[in-house]
Amino acid sequence: MQYTRRQLVKSAAYLLGAFSSAALLEACSSPSPAAAPTVAPPPAQPTSAPAPTAASAAATTAPAPTSAPAAGAITGVTPAAEAAGMVAPKAARGELTPGTIVIAISGGPEADAHTRLASKFTEYTKGKIQVRVEELPRGTPGTAKALTTLQGQSDAWDVLSVTSDNFETWGEAGFMAPLKTFIGNPDLFNAQAYNLDDFPKALLDIPNVKGEQIGFPQEASTLMFFYRKDLLKKYGIQEPGPKGYSWDELLNNALALKPKLAADGQTDMFPLVFGVKPTGHASIQTQNVIWSYGQEIFDEKWNPQLTSDKANQAMTMLTDFLFKHQVVSEGITGYEYPEVLTALQENKAVMALQWNAAAPTVLDASKSPAWGPDNTAFSVYPYGPGGPDQKRIRESVWAVCVSSFSKQQEAAFSYLAWFTSKDVARDYVLNGGGSSGRSSLLTDPDIVAKNPQYPAVLNGFNVLHLVPRIPEWSYISGSILDPDMSAIWSKQVSVADGLKKANDEIVNYLKDQGVL
């Protein structure tokens, strides 16, 4: 699909809007040093409907673990390598047309995994396919390059790393090739060996546009529940089950902990910590809690539903953790991933809503002395009246896709199938570069022994919720919901007034864009 000059001008404004939320999620992704994410300030409102943004290579996804347990990388044609080769029969037989495929991806641990394993794919193809990784800078410069390259229909890239914020807009723009034809070709893809059912359906549905699979997951992140199991036991609080606490259970337990901590002289420790900083998390927590009440953000005609009773009840319940019950610190209004992680490292809370990326740091007793492997446990993000199976956790996924403009699509798809196969994915699950999302890996006893967070991560993947599939969503999330929800948390407006303000602004914006 070629866009007009007018549409390209529109996309420039949208590009910045998308960056504010994408950059935050990027910080919460796979293994890399834990540092405060750099997030662009909310952009000025576009005057016309945003067009598709750029390649995920630059736009990005959620915080990253600070370390990954060491494990042996794939070397040579091992039994695991042979098994992985089976998923791409033509490639494994050395029958692909010789050439070099190029992977476009943001620099970081996800890219490092491709670099580390690239030569192994060459071995699998019996030397026919070389792999080159082109790392793009994270943020606006990389996004701008990706947009220019894809909008120009360049064949410079064969494999694209794409993130949640871009699946819909890029898919509709035709930047990624639908995988149906490749998947249906038994010469290219051994469906039984690959086993698509190994991915939770809620996760596999994310890189999907209008029923067409456009990518396979490499990395997925989830907000989840961290807790000090030693302190819950000490204070007689029952631990959550595999499906997590309900919001009522979490509140009751936090209220029970409050006087017990005070009696123990723990005056600097709160029962709970989470982040609602207006650089992404004010919006994300709002989405999650409203979804947990069984309320969608929009109806089927894109009318916002923030003034519904359920939305009001959900936000009132969440803000009351601070306003009414004071079981969280007032500092949460300035917290997101790094601040919540620091609070845990400094022993400031018993429980937390935090990204799975923080788990390696929290499990490391040298970095988080009060937590560590003996005292730390995990479960799923809390659920509301919608029940524990209600999809409620905002998606945050990296997927590998085939560029529609590649002249080597068979080789590119073969690489996708091989790289995300169970035996190859095991390498980056253990050594850094992605959580894969495969159930068999996230429940593997050897992997879980070193990564006890993974079963809860997998349960979180089962209740991931798609962000609204509308090009204007990134602007709405970053430039309307974030500041308006922050105004609620800072008590500038009431819950009802803040939700109405956001609802009205979304209506006006979507009318301006011609959506309503």
What's the pLDDT tens digit per position in 268-306? 999 999 999 998 899 999 999 999 999 999 999 999 999
Rounded to whole angstroms, the Cα distance separating 110 from 91 reads 23
Rounded to whole angstroms, the Cα distance separating 300 from 283 reads 21
Rounded to whole angstroms, the Cα distance separating 341 from 504 reads 35
Span 466-471, mean pLDDT? 90
Burial of 293 from C-beta contacts in 10 A (0-12 / 13-18 / 19+): buried
Lowest mean pLDDT among 52-61, 212-221, 228-237, 277-286: 52-61
Span 126-141, mean pLDDT? 90
Rounded to whole angstroms, the Cα distance separating 457 from 435 reads 9
Residue in this structure with the two tokens 């997927």, named with its chain if needed: 399
Lowest mean pLDDT among 157-171, 365-379, 473-487: 157-171
Can you list the alpha helix ranges (DSSP code H) found in 326-395?
A: 337-345, 359-363, 372-375
More confident residue, 230 or 430: 230
Query: Looking at residue 9, what is its pLDDT?
Result: 37
Query: Is 103 in contact with 159 (CB distance < 8 Å)?
Result: yes
Query: Is 438 in contact with 199 (CB distance < 8 Å)?
Result: yes
Bridge partners, residue 174, by sequence? none
Q: How confident is the model at residue 474 (pLDDT cuts 50, 70, 90)?
A: confident
What is the length of the chain?
516
Whose CA is closest to 495, among 327, 286, 295? 286
Query: Looking at residue 98, what is its pLDDT?
Result: 98
Query: Looking at residue 500, what is its pLDDT?
Result: 99
Helix, strand, coil in percent for the chain, rounding step 5 = 45, 15, 40
More confident residue, 42 or 366: 366
Span 482-508, mean pLDDT? 98
Averaged confidence pLDDT in the chain: 86
Query: Looking at residue 24, what is its pLDDT?
Result: 53
Bridge partners, residue 272, by sequence? 351
Span 404-428, mean pLDDT? 97
Q: How confident is the model at residue 146 (pLDDT cuts 50, 70, 90)?
A: confident
Rounded to whole angstroms, the Cα distance separating 21 from 149 reads 22
Q: What residue type is assigned to position 125 of the chain?
A: T
Query: Is 89 in contact with 426 (CB distance < 8 Å)?
Result: no
Rounded to whole angstroms, the Cα distance separating 138 from 8 reads 21
Query: Looking at residue 392, what is its pLDDT?
Result: 98
CA dihedral 316, 320, 323, 324 (to 10 degrees): 120
CA angle 347, 353, 358 (to 5 degrees): 70
End-to-end CA distance of the chain: 24
Span 75-86, mean pLDDT? 47
Query: Looking at residue 432, what is its pLDDT?
Result: 85
- Cα 506 from chain centroid? 24
Query: Is 411 in contact with 129 (CB distance < 8 Å)?
Result: yes
Query: Looking at residue 52, what is its pLDDT?
Result: 34
Q: How confident is the model at residue 28 (pLDDT cuts 50, 70, 90)?
A: low
Q: Is the pLDDT of residue 438 over 50?
A: yes
Over residues 336-372, the pLDDT tens digits come to: 999 999 999 999 999 999 999 899 999 999 999 999 9
Q: Is the pLDDT of residue 15 over 80?
A: no
Q: How confident is the model at residue 2 (pLDDT cuts 50, 70, 90)?
A: very low
Rounded to whole angstroms, the Cα distance separating 69 from 283 reads 32
Over residues 303-329, the pLDDT tens digits come to: 999 999 999 999 999 999 999 999 999
Helix then strand count (H, E) for the chain reads: 24, 13
Query: 3-state class of 10 per DSSP?
Result: helix
Query: Looking at residue 25, what is its pLDDT?
Result: 57
Q: Which residues contact 373 (CB under 8 A, 6 or more apart)?
A: 363, 365, 452
Rounded to whole angstroms, the Cα distance separating 287 from 127 reads 48
Question: Residue 301 has which token pair?
Answer: 């005609």
Query: Is 161 in contact with 399 (CB distance < 8 Å)?
Result: yes
Query: Looking at residue 172, what is its pLDDT?
Result: 86
User: Rounded to the nearest 5°, which phi and psi values hold at 246?
Assistant: -80, 165
Rounded to whole angstroms, the Cα distance separating 468 from 474 reads 9
Query: Looking at residue 158, what is its pLDDT?
Result: 99
More confident residue, 79 or 351: 351
Query: Looking at residue 279, what is its pLDDT?
Result: 85
Rounded to whole angstroms, the Cα distance separating 38 from 329 reads 23
Query: Looking at residue 498, what is its pLDDT?
Result: 99
* pLDDT > 70 fraction of the chain, expressed in percent and rounded: 83
Query: Is 329 in contact with 340 (CB distance < 8 Å)?
Result: no
Q: How confident is the model at residue 109 (pLDDT cuts 50, 70, 90)?
A: confident
Show the domains of the chain with their CATH numbers.
79-221+399-450 (3.40.190.10), 223-393 (3.40.190.10)
Give the DSSP per-residue string, 67-130: -----PPP-SS-HHHHHHHTTSHHHHTT-SPPEEEEEEEESSHHHHHHHHHHHHHHHHTTTSEE
Query: Looking at residue 166, what is its pLDDT?
Result: 83
Rounded to whole angstroms, the Cα distance separating 407 from 198 reads 30
Q: How confident is the model at residue 10 (pLDDT cuts 50, 70, 90)?
A: very low
Whose CA is closest to 123, among 85, 83, 89, 79? 85
